[in-house]
């Protein structure tokens, strides 16, 4: 430490350079919401991707739960009747694997969709992010903005997807099994599977937004001065 530094520290103490405080989360949520509303078109596109993937997942899971419940709990007469009509078949291992692959792919495609749209969002908003940093925004706020934006899309997409998939599974079940399904809807099983879908939807959107949000937070305030990408 040389003399100059000591004087400096002294001054610094007197001047009281403060430490920037974090903007309340409610403000971050509000700004993220405004961002979504303005870019509604693209936002809906991403959301519809999530809806499709999650509804596929929840349809597969729930209809499987319904079929298993009926096979296990319906009375002998009903099961024989359904088997005779070819309506109650236990899927082979091969078919199950195939379905798993398809669900996995659907989730992956929707994950890439989220990632892509958030990356696009970050690159087209470089000046906005730089400006916010010039005005005193901390890295954490920038991360929050992008995560919240993605989470809104995820929340809407996942909920709608679950509703769609579940109603499809229930509708198809009642058409196929008819009266055999009365009183045999596996409520607990379905709630469990809905939970799995919620988790999948959340992970999908949060992980899809994590890298873009990190990129945005690392952006220097000086990028506000840049004229083009």
Partner 1 sequence: MNDRAKNSDDHLLAANVVRAVDVKKVFKLGGEEVHALRGCTLSIKRGEYISIMGPSGSGKTTFFNMIGGLDKPNYGQVFIDEVDIASLDAFELAWLRCHKIGYIFQTFNLIPVQSALENVMLPMLFSGMPEADAQDKAADLLQKVGLGHRLLNKPTQLSGGQQQRVAVARALANDPAILLADEPTGNLDLKTGEEIIEMLSGLKDDFGVTVITATHDHKMLSVSDRVIYLVDGRIDRIQRREDLRITVGTIEEGH
Residue 166 CB, nearest distance to partner 1 (Å)? 35
> 7 is written with which tokens?
């004087």
Distance CA 161, CA 104 (A): 15
Question: What is the nearest approach in angstroms of partner 1 to the Cβ of residue 3?
Answer: 14
| Residue 153 CB, nearest approach to partner 1 (Å) | 16
Distance CA 118, CA 185 (A): 39
| Contact in structure between 131 and 186 (CB atoms under 8 Å) | no
124 C-beta neighbours (distance < 10 Å), count: 11
* Nearest distance from C-beta of residue 219 to partner 1, angstroms: 12
In the complex with partner 1, the residue whose CB is nearer, 35 or 69, is 35
Q: How far is the CB of 17 from partner 1 (least distance, A)?
A: 5
Question: To which residue do tokens 């949520």 refer?
Answer: 29
The CB-of-100 to partner 1 minimum distance in angstroms stands at: 41
173: Cβ contacts below 8 Å, ≥ 6 apart: 63, 66, 67, 181, 185
- Between 149 and 177, CB nearer to partner 1: 149
Closer by beta carbon to partner 1, 149 or else 166: 149
Report whether 190 contacts 62 (CB < 8 A).
yes
CA distance 48 to 218: 30
Nearer to partner 1, 52 or 217 (CB): 217
> Can you give the binding site for partner 1, defined by CB under 8 A?
5, 8, 11-12, 14-15, 17-21, 23, 27, 31, 34-35, 37-38, 127-128, 130-139, 220-222, 224-225, 227
Q: Which is nearer to partner 1, 132 or 156 (by Cβ)?
A: 132
Of the pair 74, 217, the CB lying nearest partner 1 is at 217
Tokens of 219: 């952006």
Nearer to partner 1, 3 or 19 (CB): 19
Q: Residues near 209 by Cβ (< 8 Å), separated by ≥ 6?
A: 114, 115, 118, 146, 147, 149, 150, 151
**Minimum CB distance to partner 1, residue 141 (Å):** 8
The answer to whether the CB of 202 falls within 8 A of the CB of 148 is no
């Amino acid at each position: 430490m040389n003399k100059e530094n000591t004087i400096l520290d002294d001054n610094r103490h007197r001047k009281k350079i403060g430490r920037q405080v974090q903007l309340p989360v409610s403000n971050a949520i509000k700004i993220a919401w405004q961002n979504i509303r303005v870019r509604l078109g693209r936002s809906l596109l991403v959301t519809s991707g999530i809806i499709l993937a999650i509804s596929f997942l929840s349809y597969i899971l729930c209809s499987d739960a319904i079929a298993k419940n009926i096979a296990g709990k319906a009375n002998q007469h009903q099961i024989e009747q359904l088997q005779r009509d070819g309506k109650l078949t236990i899927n082979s291992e091969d078919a199950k694997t195939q379905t798993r692959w398809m669900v996995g792919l659907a989730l992956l495609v929707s994950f890439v969709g989220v990632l892509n749209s958030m990356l696009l969002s970050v690159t087209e908003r470089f000046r906005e992010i730089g400006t916010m940093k010039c005005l005193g925004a901390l890295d954490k706020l920038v991360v929050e903005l992008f995560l919240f934006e993605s989470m809104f899309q995820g929340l809407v997409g996942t909920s709608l997807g679950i509703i769609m998939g579940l109603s499809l599974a229930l509708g198809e079940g009642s058409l196929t099994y008819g009266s055999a399904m009365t009183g045999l809807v596996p409520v607990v099983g379905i709630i469990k599977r809905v939970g799995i879908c919620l988790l999948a939807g959340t992970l999908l959107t949060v992980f899809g937004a994590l890298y873009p949000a990190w990129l945005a937070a690392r952006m220097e305030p000086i990028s506000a001065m840049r004229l083009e990408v």
